[in-house]
């Protein structure tokens, strides 16, 4: 048998990963590509528009202040689209209160998940009001409470979030 034939048989019998030692220890399987930033922006804008059409405005409940925010979309931060370790994405979105009384900037985080090949908004969290965070993210993108300063009010703990 010629040398090339022997090499061909070796390659057929032993996949190339056997020669390379297989996948690196702790390596993650390749992930399906997610939508790009412009697709995420479109998805969030459609979600907001759909709620406005159904409800008359885009409303977010604020458990800390005990009120509802009627919000106007300012911008979807396509530079802040993040893939989470669990395969979901989150998108940071800037809003402003609709009336003069509540015209404060409000930052919402939209969580996007894939289901049956379609991407959809799964969860919307009120992240900041007037630049003051309700929670932060650690290096693994887990939500953590904001450390209270001398004048800061501590946000209530969410037992489903804080593990």
Tell me the per-residue pLDDT of 63-78, one tens digit each, with 9 for 90 and over: 998 999 999 999 999 8
pLDDT averaged over 10-residue windows placed end to end, the chain, 163 residues:
50 44 48 73 95 92 91 90 88 86 87 91 94 91 79 42 30
* Nearest-angstrom CA–CA distance, 121 and 111: 6
The answer to whether position 9 is within a domain reads no
* Nearest-angstrom CA–CA distance, 113 and 49: 19
**Residue linked to tokens 């998805």:** 43
Residue 100, pLDDT score: 65
The answer to whether position 151 is within a domain reads no
The answer to whether position 85 is within a domain reads yes
**Residue linked to tokens 């998108």:** 91
The answer to whether position 39 is within a domain reads yes
Domain that holds residue 93: 33-145
**Number of other residues whose CB lies within 10 A of the CB of residue 12:** 8
Cα angle 153-155-157, degrees, rounded to a multiple of 5: 145
Residue 1, pLDDT score: 55
Domain count, the chain: 1
The answer to whether position 118 is within a domain reads yes
Residue 149, pLDDT score: 59
Q: Global pTM?
A: 0.68
The answer to whether position 22 is within a domain reads no
* Nearest-angstrom CA–CA distance, 152 and 163: 23
């Amino acid at each position: 048998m010629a040398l090339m034939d022997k090499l061909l048989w070796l390659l057929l019998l032993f996949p190339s990963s056997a020669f390379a030692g297989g996948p690196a220890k702790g390596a993650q399987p390749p992930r399906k590509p997610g939508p790009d930033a412009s697709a995420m922006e479109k998805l969030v804008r459609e979600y907001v528009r759909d709620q406005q059409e159904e409800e008359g405005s885009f409303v977010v409940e604020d458990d800390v202040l005990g009120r509802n925010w009627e919000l106007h979309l300012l911008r979807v931060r396509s530079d802040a689209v993040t893939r989470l370790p669990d395969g979901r994405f989150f998108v940071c979105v800037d809003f402003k209160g609709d009336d003069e009384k509540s015209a404060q900037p409000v930052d919402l985080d939209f969580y996007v998940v894939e289901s049956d090949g379609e991407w959809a908004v799964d969860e919307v969290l009120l992240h900041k009001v007037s630049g003051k965070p309700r929670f932060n993210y650690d290096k693994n993108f887990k939500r953590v409470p904001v450390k209270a300063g001398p004048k800061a009010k501590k946000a209530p703990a969410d037992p489903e979030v804080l593990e």
